[in-house]
Amino acid sequence: MMGFELDDSLKTYNPGKESHRTVLWLKERPFRAAAVCLGVLCVVLLTGIIIAAGHHNHAAVEQPTPSCNLIGEQVQLGTRCNLTDLRREQTRNKNVTKERDQLRITCTNLIQEQGQLQTSCKNLTEERDKFKTSNMQLIQERDQLQTSTNNITQERDHLLTINKCLTKEGFQLKTSNNNLTQERDLLGTSNKYLNKEINQLQTINNNLTQERDLLQTSNNNLSEEMYQLQTINNNLTQERDLLQTSNKNLTEAMSQLQTINNNVTLERDQLKELQRLSDGGGCLAGWQPHGGSCYFLSAEKKSWMASRQDCQDRGSDLVVINSKEEQNFINNFCCAVWIGLHDRESESKWKWVDGSPMKLSLWNPGEPNNAGNEDCAELIPKSKTWNDVPCSWERHWACKSVKRNSQPEIKTSMT
């Protein structure tokens, strides 16, 4: 109605209970409070004007109008009614007067309160300005603090990153430190051994130095001796050359004597061999003569190859049987013996050690059967036959050679 509306708190205004809230409200809204006060003042003034108008109407009631007199005259019976209305009006007038007085008192109080409120408003305005200024400063400080906080946060993040890196490096350094500690301990141990070795080497070196000095002295002495020996050697070389010439002459003479001696020895041996042959029926000692040949029976057992080698060493070979008569002679030997028959070069192609083919066949029935790579032949006296067996087996053996008494005359090479 007055261009503004009162707050709910003002509508329920109670000076006794709500004084504190009102003061707070006034501090928060000083201009609005001033407007409210002005509105209240206007209401009071309007109320006063209305009351004055009522008083004027009351005076008009007290002076009877011509029309009222006419009515009073016309309705004299209703006089009691007019008196009742008059009393009612008077009572009403008294009440209104009382209300006006109260309103005047209220108005006076409101005016006083208005003055107080204006003073309070002024103070509040000043405080507001101060708060504004303070607020501005606080905002500036807050912005500065915000900026500072941002900077510190960045620095903190940076420091956190650095801290992480340092932690990582610290861990690596710790690991490295442990490794270095182990290496240091090992090197310490090694160092102890090396020191011990160095001391030993130092001792050895001292000994060697002494030996070297001794050797140096000895070397000097030896050098002198060598020089002397060189002189002696030269003399001896001359003497040697003379002796070599003499020796050469003597060697030639000795060689001639050696040749003469060999010839004499050979003649002596031939004479001895002739003597043995004449004593043993034309065979060497240990050999048995038969026909035009000599036969040797071994006392030990060997393989076929070793047996043949023994015969060859004796200037003969394993026996070659050319006739049944010869076979019968060998059958008289004590036991099974190797004979000079084999198929070592080509399987089943038997031949004698002198290269002649096998003409006479005296194999035991079913032999040769080559049962187990059997390439050498043995003679079995019991069955008077031959059998092929492995050449590595060991048997006695029989050698055969010609008689020596039919050999030509002894050669002499003596000059």
Name the residue nearer to Ca ion (CB basis): 258 or 370.
370
Q: How far is the CB of 251 from Ca ion (least distance, A)?
A: 58
Q: Name the one residue in this structure whose structure tokens are 């200037």.
A: 315
Which residues touch 22 (CB under 8 Å, ≥6 apart)?
9, 10, 13, 15
Q: How many CB atoms lie within 10 A of CB 242?
A: 10
| Residue 232, Cβ density class (10 Å: 0-12 exposed, 13-18 middle, ≥19 buried) | exposed
Q: Are 116 and 15 in contact (CB under 8 A)?
A: no
Name the residue nearer to Ca ion (CB basis): 333 or 393.
393
Q: Rounded to 5 degrees, what are φ and ψ at 99?
A: -65, -40
Q: How far is the CB of 377 from Ca ion (least distance, A)?
A: 9
Q: How far is the CB of 285 from Ca ion (least distance, A)?
A: 35
Report which residue's Cβ sits closest to Ca ion.
370
Name the residue nearer to Ca ion (CB basis): 326 or 375.
375
DSSP 364: P
How many Å from the N-terminal Cα to the C-terminal Cα in the chain? 186
Q: Name the one residue in this structure whose structure tokens are 């500072």.
A: 148
Q: How far is the CB of 415 from Ca ion (least distance, A)?
A: 55
Residue 91 three-state SS:
helix
Q: Are 367 and 253 in contact (CB under 8 A)?
A: no
Q: How far is the CB of 400 from Ca ion (least distance, A)?
A: 23
Q: Which residues bind Ca ion (CB under 5 A)?
A: 343, 367, 369-370, 374-375, 387-388
Buried b / exposed e across 313-325, counting CB within 10 Å, b at 16+?
Answer: eeebbbbbbeeee
Query: Element (H or E) spanning 288, and its range?
Result: strand 288-290
Sign of CA dihedral 389, 393, 394, 400: positive
Q: If you write DSSP's letter for every residue of 315-345 in order, what string do you get? A: T-EE----SHHHHHHHHTSSS-EEEEEE-SS
Name the residue nearer to Ca ion (CB basis): 326 or 388.
388
Name the residue nearer to Ca ion (CB basis): 182 or 370.
370
Name the residue nearer to Ca ion (CB basis): 161 or 369.
369
Q: How far is the CB of 309 from Ca ion (least distance, A)?
A: 21
Q: How far is the CB of 373 from Ca ion (least distance, A)?
A: 7
Q: How far is the CB of 361 from Ca ion (least distance, A)?
A: 14
Name the residue nearer to Ca ion (CB basis): 76 or 348.
348
Q: Are 375 and 344 in contact (CB under 8 A)?
A: yes
Name the residue nearer to Ca ion (CB basis): 15 or 355.
355
Q: Rounded to 5 degrees, what are φ and ψ at 218?
A: -60, -40
DSSP 393: S
Q: How far is the CB of 390 from Ca ion (least distance, A)?
A: 9
Name the residue nearer to Ca ion (CB basis): 156 or 344.
344
